[in-house]
Amino acid sequence: MGRLVMKFGGTSVANIDRIRNVARHVKREVDAGHDVAVVVSAMAGKTNELVDWCGDASPMHDAREYDAVVASGEQVTAGLLAIVLQGMGIQARSWQGWQIPIKTSDAHASARILEIDGTEIASRFKDRKEVAVIAGFQGINPQTNRITTLGRGGSDTSAVAIAAAIRADRCDIYTDVDGVYTTDPRVVPKARRLDKIAFEDMLELASLGAKVLQVRSVELGMVHNMPVFVRSSFDKPEDIDPHGTPPGTLICSEEEIMESHVVTGIAFTKDEAQISLRQIEDKPGVAAAIFGPLADANINVDMIVQNVSEDGKTTDLTFTVPAADYNRARETITAAKGKIGYARLDSATDVSKVSVIGSGMRSHAGVAAKAFKALSERNINIRAITTSEIKFSVLIDAAYTELAVRTLHTLYGLDHT
């Protein structure tokens, strides 16, 4: 007997039949004697529909009312799943974020969880063996008593935070894939599903393009040392042994992984744009003049490369921003031209970032050098490079993305045989 949090995404609860399938997964764990809390997303496509309604009502709508509208999708799913579970003879009730309560900051549409009181849910496990069906993605700001939402993918964050609050043994994230792969199997058919991956590696994968989990949920798992198990909701519930280990990927602390590879996976994103400023006066304060206005505009800057000045007078500086922020970034830099003092602005939107991630890099030299050599042999030009302790990223022309990913995947022995 243990205590589990089970999270189901939008495709897993897309209609009543899918919700019944979810209920069978929950019943399996309840019948095995586990205390179960379930966190659900809105039905597939429902959040997009609600967001569009807000935009149609008014392009400049109140963010507080936006949250009140979009949070309703999860409320519907939670109520429907509770009804289905009750029809199967299982004690269950639905919970909205404010009822628990899940206390958050007041940053509407992108709130952060501050505190969760899991006392009532835990006591109902003990007294009633009641399944808690919780609407994900939402909470309440204690100062304003307004409903808040956590941003896209926020149900993953809700699930891990609730698991920590009720001291669960594990948080199972059910999704439309059966685990975390070494890279996107649609790009590299030889990609392997990982049995285990360290929190740090998963955090890098999630932040660098892998769409399996929201970054914040991985951060919370790492902070609270809460094991997170990514598995498929499309496996038949009756075929799974609740006491065994089903197919999937366990995200856990590095100490729990007996045999770690130098490279864990390859992530990539095509949503990048490059901006280069030419012949900037090489003097103190120039970097602040460039990146200060971008920060004020809430534009995240990723890769930064500055050329060494030959004459000590001028230099070139290149950086990347998300493609969605490209136009705003150009306008921001252009508006600050007088203060920065550059001669020319060059840019490119047909670029992508490919990242190699692995905790094993800490103790192995030459990992990046191998990649640079392999890419050069494929005539793939590297525009920029960034590194950290457990990953490095290269910026390349978007047309070569898939070739680069396949080349590096094979280079580091990640192909299945």
Domain count along the chain: 2
Residue 394: name the closest of 322, 303, 324 by CA. Answer: 303
Determine how β-strand 102-104 pairs with β-strand 304-306: unpaired
Which residues fall in the annotated binding site for substrate?
47, 74
- pLDDT for residue 363: 78
Together in a domain, 229 and 327: no
- pLDDT for residue 241: 82
Element (H, E) at 8: strand 3-8
Determine the Cα–Cα distance for residues 386 and 388; give it in Å rounded to an integer: 7
Q: Which domain holds residue 359?
A: 266-411
Determine the Cα–Cα distance for residues 215 and 213; give it in Å rounded to an integer: 6
Contacts of residue 268, defined as CB under 8 A and 6 or more positions apart, other chains included, come to: 183, 184, 187, 208, 209, 352, 353, 354, 355, 401, 404, 405
- pLDDT for residue 1: 65
Q: Encoding tokens for residue 113?
A: 């969880």
Is residue 105 assigned to a domain? yes
Q: Encoding tokens for residue 62?
A: 């109140």
User: Rg of the chain's alpha carbons, rounded to an integer?
Assistant: 24
Is residue 259 assigned to a domain? no
Determine the Cα–Cα distance for residues 329 and 347; give it in Å rounded to an integer: 11
Together in a domain, 168 and 197: yes
Is residue 197 assigned to a domain? yes
Together in a domain, 202 and 276: no
Residue after which a domain boundary falls, among 199, 223, 254? 254
Together in a domain, 313 and 351: yes
Residue 187: name the closest of 412, 408, 417 by CA. Answer: 408
Together in a domain, 233 and 275: no
Together in a domain, 35 and 117: yes
Domain with residue 304: its CATH number is: 3.30.2130.10
Determine the Cα–Cα distance for residues 184 and 38; give it in Å rounded to an integer: 28
Number of H helices, E strands in the chain: 13, 18
- pLDDT for residue 170: 95
Residue-level pLDDT, tens digit, the chain, 417 residues: 699 999 999 999 999 999 999 999 999 999 999 999 999 999 999 999 999 999 999 988 999 999 999 999 999 999 999 999 999 999 999 999 999 999 999 999 999 999 999 999 999 999 999 999 999 999 999 999 999 999 888 999 999 999 999 999 999 999 888 899 999 998 999 999 999 999 999 999 888 877 788 889 999 999 999 999 999 988 888 888 887 777 899 999 988 886 667 899 999 998 899 999 998 888 888 889 999 999 998 899 988 988 876 777 888 899 999 998 999 999 999 999 988 988 899 999 999 999 999 988 887 888 999 999 999 999 999 998 988 889 999 999 999 999 999 999 999 999 975
Together in a domain, 240 and 296: no
Residue 353: name the closest of 378, 329, 387, 317 by CA. Answer: 387
Determine the Cα–Cα distance for residues 125 and 159; give it in Å rounded to an integer: 17
Q: Encoding tokens for residue 388?
A: 């950290």
Which residues fall in the annotated binding site for ATP?
7-10, 175-176, 181, 186, 211-212
Which residues fall in the annotated binding site?
7-10, 47, 74, 175-176, 181, 186, 211-212
